A and B are shown apart, each in its own frame.
Chain A
Amino acid sequence: MDREEIHLISRYSNWSEKGVEQELAEHIYASPHAWRRFLYFLFISMGVGFTMAGIVFFFAYNWADLPKFVKIGMVEAGIICLTGFILLSKFNQSIKDIVLTGTSVLVGVLFVVFGQIYQTGANTYDFFLVWTVFISLWVIVSNYAPLWLIYLTLINTTVVFYSQQVAHYWSSLFIFTILFFINVLCLVISIYVSKTKADFKVPGWFTKAIALAAVTFSTIGISIGIHNKFETSFAILQFAVIVFYAAGLKYGLTIKSRFYLSIIPFSVIIILTSLLIEISEDQAMWLFVSAFVIVSVTLVIKFLTGIQQKWDYEQRL
């Protein structure tokens, strides 16, 4: 029985509180096994997380009395010790993955310390770029989803800083177009890889996170494009969005995921809303937009409910 069924049966019967309690404890609530697993990962994640944060703050303090050799030496010793631990210890793979994620943060610290000491005058984007480049191998080898997510965040951050500090002439529309393409590319690759390679299991939350990022960038990009002067990248973005949204909807239908079937239509609704506002800003239009949003969202939900029933029916056959 799932939770909803327990709630319903309890509502329409005289099932005793004790009985419900027992049913919930046995079949719904976290089991002793789940608790052990949770605590195991909670302790190591908190341990690595807080320790790394402590190290980052320590070097941010930029202790003037500390000789440069000691500063850089400490970080490098840390990196060597941790990689040594990963290679030689007998802990299981997940623990090593968590430690490697911490080590990747240390690589960033190393470049900050390097920049601090030698006053390299590098831009922030340089820093993110080298950090990204130098952890690439670890990311690929460990193939650990949280590390991949950090890696993608670093890539996106590098692009944003590059556009702010070097490529001043990039329009905001162009930046969102690039960000959209980067994330869509990663999404397509991760879906492709998880389909074709048996030992590459990409967790669902990971693909959903990138998909959400990509759709957010395209929604903002197109909405900016609608309100601004026409430029070439707008045409490219429009074309790409049409192609990828269509592909995304088809993919959502194939794998029976309501996630893709709700974020893409919602993005389209927002885009159409901003188009309507661009056409006219008078009172009738605002009222129309309000009605348009209600009707369109309702239609999407109607569709989603219908398709879910169909899927459930197919599953029962």
Chain B
Amino acid sequence: MNNDYNLNAKLDLIRQSEGKGFVADENSLLLAFQRIEEDKSGLAIKVLSIAGGFLATISFIGFLLVAGLYDSKMGLIIFGIVFIAGAVWINKRFELQILDTSVIAVYIIGFCLLAFGVSHFKVDKNILPVLFVIISAVSINITQRYILSFISILIINGSILLLIVINDAFNLVHLYNVVITLCLTYCFLKEAKLISTSTKLSRLYDPLRSALLFSLLAGLAFVGKRGIVKMDTEFIWLSSLIIIPAVLYLVFLVINILHVDDPKRKMIIYGFSILLLMPTASGPAIPGSLLMILLCFYVNYKTGFVISIIAFIYFVGQYYYDLNFSLLTKSLLLFSTGVLFIIVFLFTSKKLRADEKY
């Protein structure tokens, strides 16, 4: 069986560079390799599980509404907690792909029941989101399987956004964006550190990466589409304070990868990058989605790359649509950006294809 995965060859290869101190738990590894073989889940299966889970949740809520069962408050809370706990337990106990859809459905239904139940009590409106954050954090701590962790991280960040919305503290969205941007950049660029720190973090890495991407998208949508929330437009650049330097940091990394050593050329590249990024400070969603594109390309995360490109096109369009200039000014802005890129292309095209043909 070992031959199927060439496990020994791979471990030998690592041993060569790591030296004699390298030890691997070969039995567990073999089991894990067999397990991913049986449990291989591509994008199709993940999307199917999540879509199925949501569809089932919607019809279950339909059932609650038609049956009028949403009136018994204690019943709802108890069932909500039982459902969430049940989902986490099944997930932890069996770790089977075919159970994922049921687990998600039961898990989300649990949260809905809990929300219905708590809303019957006249409690502070902030309690529910805080409760959601705590429950999700606890369940991530117990089980780190992909889909449940993914949904839990989304629930945590969604609850934080909800807290901002129900308290009308819309300027805190910038704080949210800054924190998520930093987490996302760290998560993408420090993959090796995160996966070798602890088993839990290693298992959590993939769901964390995709969930952070979606969480940043949500935060960017708040600043990217005017009128979604009542936000002070004069402070809209606050999110850019961290996002733009993060993009520049990636430019720095790419310069190193491409071995651009000439200081003059480096200055020109930074100059151009800053020139292009400065005008986007008032539309943080644009550099934000650009950062996502660069990060996803850097670590070769294909699904994220496609999502980021679609987001980028949408945010650029939305930004110019919302802009309070005449169409003529907008046209000049777009046109000059385009010409700038064509100039960059003409200057770099020879260098970029110096050693290869496309």
Which chain A residues have a beta carbon within 8 Å of chain B's beta carbons? 1, 4-24, 28-30, 32-40, 43-44, 46-58, 60-61, 63, 91-92, 94, 258-259, 261-262, 266, 269-270, 273, 281-283, 286-287, 289-291, 293-294, 296-298, 300-302, 304-305, 308-309, 312, 316
Contact A294 B52 (CB under 8 A): yes
- Nearest CB of chain A from residue B144's CB, rounded to whole Å: 11
Which chain B residues have a beta carbon within 8 Å of chain A's beta carbons? 4-5, 10-11, 14, 17-18, 21-25, 28-29, 32-33, 36-42, 44-45, 47-49, 51-53, 55-57, 59-60, 62-63, 66-67, 97-102, 105, 191-193, 195-196, 199, 202-203, 205-206, 254, 257-259, 297-300, 320, 326-328, 330-342, 344-345, 348-349, 352-353, 356-358
Contact A10 B56 (CB under 8 A): no
Contact B338 A8 (CB under 8 A): no
Contact B344 A57 (CB under 8 A): no
With A15-B22, A57-B327, A57-B331 as contacts: A283 and B105 at CB distance below 8 Å: no
Contact A13 B102 (CB under 8 A): no
- Other-chain residue from B17, B33, B48, B67 in contact with A8 (beta carbon distance below 8 A): B33
Contact B56 A35 (CB under 8 A): no
Q: How far is the CA of A306 from the CA of B258 in the complex (A)?
A: 43
- Other-chain residue from A51, A58, A301 in contact with B339 (beta carbon distance below 8 A): A51
With A55-B335, A58-B328 as contacts: A47 and B342 at CB distance below 8 Å: yes
- Other-chain residue from B47, B297, B334 in contact with A53 (beta carbon distance below 8 A): B334
Contact B52 A297 (CB under 8 A): yes
- Nearest CB of chain B from residue A99's CB, rounded to whole Å: 10
Contact B342 A48 (CB under 8 A): yes
Q: Which residues of chain A are near B17, meaning CB under 8 Å? A: 19, 22
Contact A30 B60 (CB under 8 A): no
With A57-B331, A290-B59, A305-B38 as contacts: A30 and B298 at CB distance below 8 Å: yes
Q: Which residues of chain A are near B44, meaning CB under 8 Å? A: 258-259, 261-262, 304
- Nearest CB of chain B from residue A86's CB, rounded to whole Å: 15
The contact sample of 9 A-B pairs, CB cut-off 8 A, is A14-B21, A28-B299, A36-B258, A39-B348, A39-B352, A258-B42, A273-B59, A286-B59, A301-B98
Q: Which residues of chain B are near A8, meaning CB under 8 Å? A: 29, 32-33, 36
Q: How far is the CA of A233 from the CA of B235 in the complex (A)?
A: 55
Contact A54 B98 (CB under 8 A): no
With A36-B353, A40-B349, A301-B97 as contacts: A10 and B196 at CB distance below 8 Å: yes
Q: Which residues of chain A are near B195, meaning CB under 8 Å? A: 6-7, 10-11, 20
Contact A289 B202 (CB under 8 A): no
Closest 3 CB pairs of A and B: A54-B335, A51-B338, A297-B52
Q: How far is the CA of A58 from the CA of B206 in the complex (A)?
A: 45
Q: A20-B195, A33-B356, A262-B47 are in contact. List 9 more A-B contacts (CB 8 A).
A: A12-B28, A15-B196, A20-B191, A36-B352, A51-B334, A91-B349, A302-B98, A309-B38, A312-B40
Which applies to chain B's interface (DSSP): helix, strand, loop or mixed?
A: helix
Residue among B25, B40, B48 with max Cβ neighbours from chain A (10 Å): B48
Contact A266 B105 (CB under 8 A): no
Contact A12 B196 (CB under 8 A): no
Contact B332 A297 (CB under 8 A): no
Contact B100 A10 (CB under 8 A): no
Q: How far is the CA of A44 from the CA of B349 in the complex (A)?
A: 9
Contact B339 A262 (CB under 8 A): no
Nearest B-chain residue to A7, judged by Cβ: B195
Contact B345 A44 (CB under 8 A): yes
Q: How far is the CA of A38 from the CA of B296 in the complex (A)?
A: 12
Contact B330 A283 (CB under 8 A): no
Contact B22 A14 (CB under 8 A): yes
Nearest B-chain residue to A45, judged by Cβ: B341
Contact B196 A16 (CB under 8 A): yes
Contact B258 A32 (CB under 8 A): yes
Q: Which residues of chain B are near A51, meaning CB under 8 Å? A: 334-335, 338-339, 342
With A11-B203, A16-B196, A35-B257 as contacts: A304 and B45 at CB distance below 8 Å: yes
With A8-B33, A9-B29, A32-B258 as contacts: A47 and B338 at CB distance below 8 Å: yes
- Other-chain residue from A18, A22, A61 in contact with B326 (beta carbon distance below 8 A): A61
Q: How far is the CA of A21 from the CA of B353 in the complex (A)?
A: 28
Q: Which residues of chain B are near A28, meaning CB under 8 Å? A: 299-300
Contact A50 B338 (CB under 8 A): yes
Contact B98 A30 (CB under 8 A): no
Nearest B-chain residue to A27, judged by Cβ: B300
Contact A7 B205 (CB under 8 A): yes
Contact A24 B191 (CB under 8 A): yes
- Other-chain residue from B4, B14, B49, B55 in contact with A9 (beta carbon distance below 8 A): B14
Nearest B-chain residue to A286, judged by Cβ: B63
Q: How far is the CA of A291 from the CA of B60 in the complex (A)?
A: 9
Contact B55 A301 (CB under 8 A): no
- Other-chain residue from B300, B328, B342 in contact with A30 (beta carbon distance below 8 A): B300
Residue among A4, A38, A301, A302 with max Cβ neighbours from chain B (10 Å): A301
Contact B45 A258 (CB under 8 A): yes
Q: Which residues of chain A are near B22, meaning CB under 8 Å? A: 13-15
With A38-B297, A94-B358, A308-B40 as contacts: A12 and B45 at CB distance below 8 Å: no
Contact A49 B338 (CB under 8 A): yes
- Other-chain residue from B51, B97, B259 in contact with A266 (beta carbon distance below 8 A): B51
Contact A9 B97 (CB under 8 A): no
With A19-B18, A262-B48, A302-B98 as contacts: A57 and B334 at CB distance below 8 Å: yes
Q: Which residues of chain A are near B28, meaning CB under 8 Å? A: 12
With A15-B18, A54-B335, A55-B335 as contacts: A270 and B55 at CB distance below 8 Å: yes
